[in-house]
Structure 1
Amino acid sequence: MTVSNTEPNLQNNSIRALQTNRHYLTIFLTFLLLCSAVLHAQDIPPKNEANIPKTTKEDTISVNLKPIVDEINEQAQDTVKTDSIKPPKETLTDVVDYYGEDYVLLNRKENRVYMYNKAYIIYGDMRIDAGLIILDYNKNEVYAKGIDSAGVYSQRPIFVQAANKVEPDSIRYNFDTKKALVYNSRTEQNGFRVIAEVTKKVNDSVVYLRNVKFTTSKNIDDPEYYFYTRKAKFVPKKKIVTGLTNMYIADVPTPVGLPFAYFPLTEDRTSGFIIPSFGENNSRGFFFQNGGYYFAINDYLDFSLLGDYYTNGSYALRGESAYVLKYKYRGNFSARYEYLVQEERGFPNFQESAIYNIRWSHMQDTKSNPSSRFSASVNLGSSKYFNQSINQTNNASALVNTLSSSISYAKSFEGDPQVNFTLAATHSQNTNTQQISMSLPNLNASVSRIYPFAPKDGTKKGIIQNINFQYDISAENRIQTTDSLFFKPEMFNSAQIGAQHNIPLTTNFKILKYLSASAGTNYRETWVLKSTRKRYDEAAFDGQGGVVQDTIPGFESYRTYNFSTSLGTTLYGLFNFGNDKKIQAIRHVVRPSVSYNINPAFDRYYDEFIIPETANEAAGETVQYSRFENTLYGPPSKVYSSSIGMSLSNTFEAKMRDSDTTAVEPKKVTLLNNLNFSTAYNLAGDSLNWSPLQFNGSIPIVPKLDFNFSGSLDPYALDNNNNKIDVFNINNGGSLFRLTNANVSINYSFSSKDFEAKTKDTGIDNETFRNGGRPDDLFGEASNIYDGQIYKNNEEEDVDKTNIEWYNFTIPWDVRFAYTITYGNGQRQNEISSQSFMMSTNMELAPRWTVGVSSGYDFKNKGVTLTQFRFQRDLESWQMSFNWTPIGSINTAWYFFIGIKSSMLSDIKYDKRRESDKRL
């Protein structure tokens, strides 16, 4: 029986929470309740008047009715307590909201509601969208499927409950048991796409599947690869456990199969094993690399322990940790140790060594505490680590010749004056000479400027009101050692401890309104805990005699002071050519300045000793020395100096007519940026009073391309032995100045994006930069030995390239190059000491093909510098990359990788590489 004719206004109406048909449903439910009460309540016994006792009327009126009333009340209470009638359970315990665009039909006979075309039903946290939805009140079930029109199946159901989403062909869901039966479902969990022929939802935490495909491909209808299993158990947001599983590529089964499989789906980090890669090395045998365990300690801290093992006995251990506390700080720490064995014991090429590297980076959020800041940037270890490491394929890091570290804590105390102090530890290591310099620790403290004569209104005028002074102290414990003695007790034997106190007193004022003048003096006191004594000992050096130097522990100090003044101004020159010209005007800005400095001689801190006449060499010579020669800050100067310094700064700018006809103002262009000259004249010197003329400048050629140059011009001539003499070069038959040294450098980077709309920079997170190298790829890119990626892959910003043409007519590209040349002529050598050109480029030849190259040429040594070729193929869900370094001093190698992009399946990969010869 259909009731569509009795409900004339149901079509195209949205029904919210059963409100529109409430009177029909109320009548229907009331009818069911009455029928249920009639059929199942206790029957009323028939009247039996014989059982009713007769009563006789008495003449007396002293009848006590209380026992009768109490008995009736007790019987009534007993009847209520033993009544078996229970209120019926409601059909649906929550509000139901449903809708159908074409019609919503209520069939009273079947007790069903039909919704058709763009229908949906919402019950609690469950929502179903489909072409046809049937709500069955008898079974408390809902059935949903799509619409089959002209052979096209459209409006497939979409089932959403909480955070779970399923897109099947059809679905049945029971409101009471909350179980569901789904056919041909499609769902996604943490990047995993699951396609199942039949799905049975048991409850909110367990789902069983049959004939299932698992993939990370974005094309769920035609994935390029998938894992197929006949039975699986699916726990949302936790795991997928399967039976026999095979891998299919392009719907073709592969030999890759497992008797069972486990796929974690948790959104949070979880601890687990890291599967190692394996291979063979010619000199070390078979190996397992990068295997270990990942510890997800909590939401703020993790730790991974990785290791390598080679069959010849080489092994490596690496511990890496990252931590973050939002709005407070973040950082990472890594420690790496490798024991390397080359060849086999007993063979002539057998070698063994141990190398290590420690890195720590800590950054504090500036908003967490404005008055104090802690930061750390540590990179220390063996000097040959990046060259000899068996698990480091970063060519650019191998070219780094300096490792540096710094750990500092800074604190400011607000007030007037403000007090600042910094406690730090620094480290600098030359990987070529293996010399290490450490400052552990050093202290710097200062008091801000104090103006004792400043007026209360804060406006300072004149020489007196601008008088100011401040105080600062620096103390340091410096250690000089070598790589072989690092972390050993011997490294502390040569430690030097000292402190310096500085009190500068300065003022500034105006002269004739346009001249800016300043004057000041500085008092400095130096403290040391070791000093030096020298003497001539005839019995020293096996009786041959010689100068003996003794280190005397104990407190020593000396005090120095100086005076300086300067005068400067700014001059402007403007040359107008007319508004109708291409170049309308040129402005020249000149900033000349003159300074005077005087430094007294502190010869009272110098001692002397005499070499006796019996000595073989330098007999009777008097030798002067300072007991502060080998101290932390060195000795004070014993030479009186009085010098005048001169400097000149130039800037040239032009006003040019803008090529854009809509522009109102002319365009400002810099022609010459900061052409600077500086020299000095020593008034106290007896010869060679003029210092060389230093110059430097920058010429902008095009945006982001500057021509930088610097050099030195000497006014004095050279003798026949190429020694400088007190004769001007122009008076010796030469030019006014001799060019003794010069340097020219050009750096430029541009890309196809420069010709497009401006985009926001994504920043650089570069492994080479963390190791102390350049952040760009002029010396090659680092291959990530953990996932094989040469270029960063941001899955969130990955563009859908499923339906694109094979020809990429807008080829993205980028180019970077650097050129530098250094000239030396200090002693008539007239040679180019260094000249090199470095270049790097990346180009996307096709939407899925990217190539890159980094190379250069050394004009001095006439050879190609380190060269690297990079190739990457985007295989949609997979990635293939090849990194080849055919030319390099010690870094020739290649690396091939193919694997799944998704981090969840990163262990499904194949990689192969040839390491460089670490013995060179």
Structure 2
Amino acid sequence: MKQLLAFVLLSCCLSGLLLWSQTTAELVNSPQTADTLDLARLVLDSLDTGEARLDSLFYSADSIYFDNALERLYLFGSTNVRYLSSNISSDSLFLDINAERAYSFGPTVMQDLDQVLLGRNVRFDIESQEGILEDGSSQIEKAFYTGQEIRKVGDDIYDVDQGSFTTCDDIDPCFHFSAAQLRIYRGDKIVGKPVIAWVNDFPVFYFPFFTIPIRRGRHPGFLIPEPGYNSFDGKYIKDIAWYYPYKDYADLTLSLDLKEKTGWKLSLDSDYILRYKFNGNFKASYNRSIIDEVVNNDWAIRANHHHELGEKSTLDANIDFITNKRIWESSSDINESLVQRLSSSLSYRKPLLSSYLNVGATYTQDLINDNVYLSLPSASFSMPSRPVYELFYKPERAVDAWWSNFSWNYAVRLDHTGYVNDPSPGFEDLLWSNRLDPNDSTRVITEHHAGINHRLGLSYNWKLRGWLNFRQGIDYNESWYDRDKNGEKWVRGANYNTYFNTSFNLYGTRNYAESYIRSIRHIVTPTLGINYTPDFTDNSRFYSFGGISNSSGEEAANLSLGIDQKWQVKYGRGDNANLKKLNDILSLSSRISANLLKEDKPLGTISHSLALRPGSFDLGNLKLSPDFSFQGLKLAYSASYSLAQDPYKVSWGDAAFRGHYFSQSISLGASAPYIDYFPHTKNNLFDAYLVQDTTLVEPETTTKEGSDNWNISLAHDLYAAKLPWHPDSHNLRMNTTFKFSDNWALTYNNYINLKEGDLISQSFGLMRNLHCWKLEITYTRRNDYWEYKVALFNSVLPDALRFQNRDSGRN
């Protein structure tokens, strides 16, 4: 019985010792094949199957000896014990049953699934669950640690004497931290003192102590702050933050920025989600700034929330509000620093009568002019075009009759809008107050409008001989207003119009059997429309706001003519299955209108638009040298151009082109393979325990590829009211990425006002891959604001091992 107890205790204590290891470590001597003895043969006379499970315990050794007098069990030569998923290997083992202690001699490997610990001369106390391991090494959260002596001193707490720690996965690490004393809190952090940082076995820095978080997943705690200095804020400590996760539903971060010259800032961030119910995020900040001895208290709030209410109903909220733009003056986010308007909204959507009812509100801040536009509330409902006969009955199949082509549509909208030009508005100013400046009767302080609009349409669609399309109908529009321009309350306005439209398509195809371009198809679509509107000049007394308006023009019969042209291309080699298509590679559109009832200059403006969209092309590979080539070279291009003509100013010497707008974009990208002539030997000696594959051979060189790691893109736009060579605005934007090698990359972006010759903004980025570390240097300039940042961080623990500095200011 004591023999059985000895083996059970041996397995349990060594398995317990395994639990205080983290992951893999190395072993030079691999387990050897040995004779196997069944435990039942040694203890057959005292077998007690009530507690032990012999089918889960296996051991092997060259020889086994049990000293009955001293109550000790000895295993010699390539010992191996396996209990459930745990496996222990050593040169020799023995168990002192009376002292309840276990000992191993020589190299010892303890393994549980993919966790491995390497050491020598294990001493383990079964009762206290404490032990000592000499010359130990292991892996912890993608990092490695070693020590002359490792001791388990408590639950999940281990002390390491003369230890080292690294995240480098090379067999000969390029860097490590050494400490006379290390304490490892398993699954939480590593604490050491005193600490020396080594690079290529050369000491580079000394720390009195350090703490490195290694806890995985979401867990509460303080984040690492960012100290620094810049000329605007002086000395600062940013992101003094506390993080708290609430189950699997939410994250909350409370942070504080302390700035020597400009005050302090308090922020609260939160992200939350409950699947199939709601999700959103929230960010609020309060900034107390001191600039030129003037104290300002500013705050900002940004939030988004989406809520599923059941039965396809949804509620969405978007809040984007600041008290003053000062709060974002030193922001590193270009969208915040250059913002001119902020909008907040609330919307509710609910299915109704095969459509949706929408109710919402908007609040828009004009940060440049310091005023507010709001819509509070607004509601809309629309029925899309549907056959008229469905109002009376709904057949199982679509009706094929002339009267089935009658369709109707309906829409209703309720809107209340407001304009507030008061820096400190009251509650009534946001909801109903209408005020003029007492010192200037032409200046509006607050103005509000409310109304309801109905739109009803009836149309008839038919096709003559299967190719000529006709559509005619009548639209009715009615609005109710809280007041008109004459001051009369709750007034009604209405208007209607009738229309007739027709169109058809002409197709022309040209095939080229032996050419790379197999066929070109030309599609021409002429359109003609007539719209008649009676005289509704009496409606000029009504306001127009939100979606509430009425036609207030004179009697008109507008004739519109248009022609759309599209070209499509099919190209490639081989049969039809291998051919590619470019739909609408080129399109050209022209429009003109005329008021048939207008005697003086009845013709309207002629408009033209041209678009070229060939898409992207695969240019193949470009070999620059025997060792370097660009692979998967792709070129993409698109352009559009629009202009207008005044037909009464067109002459032989002047086409009267006006309103030119031209935009184009082009991008060129490729991936480049990089050869590593001096690959590092990885710390993979434990693969024999985890993978059992000894056929892998380290290559002399390795090749690495990236996806479009070389890219340049240009976007150009131009607008000219009269002549395109005298533009009113002319801009160029460029974005580039150049990865010169596997370790070096450069990015550059800019925005240039070509008309004024001003560089609006530009940014540089230099990235250096230092094997298991990365160095990033960035410089950004926007008008007179500049900022630079230098960051050195560990690839495995980027938040825990990060050193950075930044500065910003204005010229």
The TM-score bracket by the shorter chain reads: 0.7 to 0.9
Structure-2 change in CA distance of 1:889 and 1:30 (3 Å): closer
Asked if the contact 1:526/1:557 (under 8 Å) is kept, the reply is yes
Query: Residue 482 of structure 2 aligns with which residue?
Result: 529
**Residues 269/419 of structure 1: CA separation in 2 closer, same or farther (3 Å cut):** same
User: Alpha carbons of 1:176 and 1:526: their partners in 2 closer, same or farther (altered >3 Å)?
Assistant: same
TM-fit CA distance, 1:340: 2.9
The match for 2:807 is 913
1:823 to 705, 720, 725: 720
Residue 432 (1) aligns with residue 368 (2):
yes
- In structure 2, relative to structure 1, the CA distance for the partners of 1:123 and 1:306 (3 Å cut) is same
Residues 72-128 of structure 1: CA deviation (Å, up to 9, x unaligned): xxxxxxxxxxxxxxx8996x566444477xx76555778555674xx8643245333
Superposed, which structure 2 residues align to 1:9-28 within 5 Å?
A: 21-22=37-38, 25-28=39-42
Which residue of 180, 201, 208 corresponds with 1:258? Answer: 208
Identify the structure with the greater strand proportion: 2
Displacement of 1:481 after TM fit? 2.8
5 Å-filtered alignment, 1:184-583, equals 184-201=135-152, 205-219=156-170, 221-232=172-183, 234-242=184-192, 244-253=194-203, 256-258=206-208, 262-282=211-231, 284-312=233-261, 314-343=263-292, 345=293, 353-363=296-306, 371-381=312-322, 384-385=325-326, 389-390=329-330, 392-395=331-334, 397-413=336-352, 417-453=353-389, 456-482=395-421, 484-485=423-424, 490-492=429-431, 493=433, 494-533=447-486, 551=487, 554-577=489-512, 579-583=513-517
1:655 is the counterpart of 2:567: no
Distance 1:379 1:528 in 2: 30
Q: Secondary structure at the match of 2:42?
A: helix
Alignment-mate amino acid for residue 293 of structure 1: W
- Identity among equivalent pairs (%): 17
Q: Distance in 2 between matches of 1:695 and 1:99?
A: 87
After TM superposition, give the deviation of residue 452 of structure 1 in Å. Answer: 3.7
Change in CA separation of 1:636 and 1:812 when aligned onto 2, cut-off 3 Å: closer
C-alpha distance after superposition, 1:186-241 (max 9, x if no partner): 33444454323222346763433322223333347525132524252x34224445
Q: Work out whether 1:740 is the aligned partner of 2:658.
A: yes
From 612, 631, 638, the counterpart of 1:706:
638
Q: Distance in 1 between matches of 2:257 and 2:128?
A: 52
- Give the stretch that moved more between structures: 444-453 or 738-747: 444-453
SS in 2 for 1:868: strand
Corresponding residue for residue 19 of structure 2? none
The 1:470–1:891 alpha-carbon spacing in structure 2 relative to 1, beyond 3 Å, is: same
In 2: Cα distance, 1:670 partner to 1:30 partner? 84
Cα distance in 1 for residues equivalent to 2:173 and 2:724: 71
Greater C-alpha Rg: 1
From 558, 561, 566, the counterpart of 1:643: 558
- Please tell me whether the aligned partners of residues 337 and 356 of structure 1 are also in contact (alpha carbons under 8 angstroms): yes
2:775 paired with 1:880: yes
Aligned to 1:853: 748
Of the candidates 664, 670, 678, which is equivalent to residue 752 of structure 1? 670
What one-letter code is carried by the residue in structure 2 that aligns with 1:846?
S
Which residue of structure 2 lines up, in the alignment, with residue 591 of structure 1? 525
Of residues 22, 25, 43 in structure 2, which corresponds to 1:29? 43
Who is 1:57 aligned against? none
Q: Kindly indicate whether residue 601 of structure 2 is the aligned counterpart of residue 691 of structure 1.
A: no
TM-score by length of 2: 0.77
Work out whether residues 496 and 631 of structure 1, in 8 Å CA contact, stay in contact via their aligned partners in 2: no
Q: Distance in 2 between matches of 1:755 and 1:255?
A: 36
Alpha-carbon contact 1:211-1:230 (below 8 Å) kept: yes
Unpaired stretches in structure 2, ≥5 consecutive residues: 1-30, 434-446, 617-635, 675-697
For residue 112 of structure 2, the aligned residue among 160, 170, 173 is 160
The 1-side partners of 2:672 and 2:526 are apart by 38
Give distance in 2, aligned partners of 1:603 and 1:905: 68
- Asked whether the equivalents of residues 794 and 802 of structure 2 are also in contact (C-alpha less than 8 Å), the reply is yes
> What is the identity, as a one-letter code, of the residue corresponding to 1:185?
G
Q: 1:862 aligns with which of 749, 757, 760?
A: 757
| 1:82 paired residue number | none
CA contact (8 A) 2:231 2:807 kept: no
CA contact (8 A) 2:665 2:715 kept: yes
Distance 1:804 1:909, change over 3 A: farther
| Structure 1 residues 644 and 894: CA distance shift in structure 2, 3 A | same
Q: How does 1:97-176 map to 2 (within 5 A)?
A: 97-98=57-58, 106=64, 112=74, 116=78, 121-124=81-84, 126-128=86-88, 130=89, 134=93, 157-160=109-112, 165-168=116-119, 171=122
CA RMSD of superposed structures (Å): 4.0
Check 1:627–1:593 CA distance in 2 against 1; reply closer, same or farther (3 A cut): closer
Check 1:14–1:714 CA distance in 2 against 1; reply closer, same or farther (3 A cut): farther
Please give the residue correspondences for 1:65-76 in structure 2 after superposition, counting only pairs within 5 Å.
none
Give the CA deviation at 1:488.
Answer: 6.6
Displacement after TM superposition at 1:333 (Å)? 1.3
SS in 2 for 1:580: coil
**Residue type of the partner of 2:505?**
T
Distance, in Å, in 2 between the alignment partners of 1:183 and 1:485 is 73
Give the match's secondary structure for 2:423: helix
Q: Does the CA contact (< 8 Å) of 1:98 and 1:122 recur in 2? A: yes
CA contact (8 A) 2:666 2:714 kept: yes
TM-score (normalizing by structure 1): 0.69
Answer yes or no: is 1:626 the counterpart of 2:541.
Answer: yes
Residues 228 and 499 of structure 1: is their aligned pair in 2 closer, same or farther, counting only changes over 3 Å? farther
**Is there any run of 5+ residues in structure 1 with no aligned partner, and where?**
1-10, 34-86, 148-155, 346-350, 534-550, 606-624, 718-728, 757-801
- Native 8 Å contact 1:279 1:288 kept in 2: yes
Q: How does 1:765-784 map to 2 (within 5 A)?
A: none
Per mean C-alpha deviation after superposition, the further-off stretch among 554-563 and 198-207 is: 198-207
CA deviation digits over 1:812-831, x for unaligned, max 9? Answer: 31212101122222xx8973
When residues 708 and 804 of structure 1 are mapped into structure 2, their CA distance, relative to the original with a 3 A threshold, is farther
Closer/same/farther in 2, CA of residues 754 and 214 from structure 1, 3 Å limit: closer
Q: Relative to 1, partners in 2 of residues 1:876 and 1:503: Cα closer, same or farther, differing over 3 Å?
A: same
The one of 875, 884, 897 equivalent to 2:791 is 897
- How far apart are the structure 1 equivalents of 2:511 and 2:49? 99
